[in-house]
């Protein structure tokens, strides 16, 4: 079965880690118990989890609904499924005393784990919606700063092959001015791991106010950016002591760009083939 046609309530722990920074204090208490003792949560009752967290049963139920579950029982079923098939590449912290072989293994495993987790939480419906919006747009603005900046360049280098009118912005001033002169026929693709990057958030808000459609690629589906955008394409890379976002985040965001590119290419095969032939002809003259 296609993994993107999964039960929409899968990946409970993966999504919880991404949402954690946006949870209120009481909900973080529940999250702390779940993340520390997921086995206990599978077999516990709602009042037992509430007692272990030091919150009310109503807070535990609200926690489940925020994660996208109808109730506590649905959350436990998803959690149990996730624990039955743990990641083949568990995330391990790099330690100062690790030798080179161990460090290399842990760094690679972190990237592989991030991609696996992103595959688990990325929704096909949201990807399809993003593809439709991008293909229908007169102009596409791709925005990102910091570690997300290279993904901006990656996206525009891919999208122009399909003949899309795509512009990339990594500078906050240019990002904001481009958003200000956009409109209903434009789409802004906002890339932010945290979903709270001020420059990207402000550009997305301006674009939405003038009628442009905003698409988000973020690790946090409860972030301020996620509240502005529709659709939201969720990634799932985790920070570690020596790898804050870094390459694992880049790989996940780039993989999302590849999904968008591939689906749009299949929707416009003639244009893509024509453009690739033109590029190959030019390249052959200079090599």
In a shared domain, residues 48 and 134? no
Structure token pair of residue 153: 């360049």
**Tell me, what's the pLDDT at 283?**
83
CATH number for the domain that contains residue 214: 3.40.50.10490
pLDDT digits over 122-142, tens only? 999 999 999 999 999 999 999
**Interior/surface letters 238-268, b for 16+ CB within 10 angstroms, e for the rest:** bbbeebebbbbbbbbbbebbebbbebbbeeb
* Separation of alpha carbons 190 and 169, rounded Å: 10
> Domain residues for 65?
3-84
Query: Is 161 a domain residue?
Result: yes
Handedness of CA 80, 81, 87, 88 (dihedral sign): positive
Q: Which residues contact 135 (CB under 8 A, 6 or more apart)?
A: 164, 264, 267, 268
In a shared domain, residues 7 and 132? no
Bridge partners of 187?
140, 213
In a shared domain, residues 133 and 243? yes
> pLDDT tens string for the chain (287 positions)?
333 444 445 678 888 888 888 899 999 999 999 999 888 888 999 999 999 999 999 999 999 999 888 889 999 888 888 877 655 556 677 788 889 999 888 888 888 888 988 998 899 999 999 999 999 999 999 999 998 999 999 999 999 888 899 999 999 999 999 999 999 999 999 999 999 999 999 999 999 999 999 999 999 989 999 999 999 999 998 765 555 456 788 999 999 999 999 999 999 888 888 888 888 888 888 86
* Separation of alpha carbons 188 and 44, rounded Å: 44
Instruction: Give the 3-state secondary structure of residue 258.
Output: helix
In a shared domain, residues 74 and 198? no
Query: Is 100 a domain residue?
Result: no
In a shared domain, residues 153 and 273? yes
Helix (H) or strand (E) holding 136: helix 124-136
In a shared domain, residues 153 and 258? yes
- DSSP 8-state code for residue 3: G
Query: Is 286 a domain residue?
Result: no
Domain total in the chain: 2
In a shared domain, residues 243 and 134? yes
- The pair phi, psi for residue 87, each rounded to 5°, is -60, 140
Query: Is 91 a domain residue?
Result: no
- DSSP 8-state code for residue 238: P
**Tell me, what's the pLDDT at 5?**
40
């Amino acid at each position: 079965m296609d993994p993107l046609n999964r039960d929409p309530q899968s990946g409970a722990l993966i999504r919880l880690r991404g949402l954690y920074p946006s949870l209120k204090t009481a909900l973080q208490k529940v999250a702390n118990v779940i993340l520390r003792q997921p086995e206990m949560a599978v077999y516990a009752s709602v009042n037992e989890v509430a007692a272990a967290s030091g919150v009310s049963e109503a807070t535990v139920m609200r926690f489940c609904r925020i994660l996208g579950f109808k109730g506590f029982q649905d959350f436990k079923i998803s959690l149990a499924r996730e624990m039955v098939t743990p990641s083949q590449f568990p995330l391990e912290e790099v330690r100062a005393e690790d030798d080179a072989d161990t460090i290399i293994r842990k760094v690679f495993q972190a990237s592989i784990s991030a991609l696996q987790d992103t595959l688990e939480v990325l929704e096909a419906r949201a990807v399809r919606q993003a593809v439709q919006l991008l293909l229908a747009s007169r102009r596409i603005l791709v925005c990102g700063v910091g570690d997300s900046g290279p993904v901006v360049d990656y996206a525009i280098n891919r999208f122009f092959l399909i003949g899309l009118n795509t512009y990339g912005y990594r500078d906050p001033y240019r990002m904001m001015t481009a958003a200000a002169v956009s409109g209903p026929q434009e789409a802004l693709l906002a890339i932010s791991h945290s979903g709270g990057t001020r420059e990207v958030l402000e550009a997305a808000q301006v674009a939405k106010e003038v009628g442009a459609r905003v698409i988000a690629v973020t690790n946090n589906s409860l972030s301020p950016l996620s509240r502005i955008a529709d659709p939201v394409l969720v990634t799932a890379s985790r920070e570690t002591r020596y790898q804050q976002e870094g390459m694992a985040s880049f790989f996940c965001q780039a993989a999302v760009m590849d999904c968008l590119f591939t689906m749009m290419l299949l929707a416009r095969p003639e244009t893509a083939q024509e453009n690739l032939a033109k590029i190959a002809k030019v390249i052959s003259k200079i090599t």
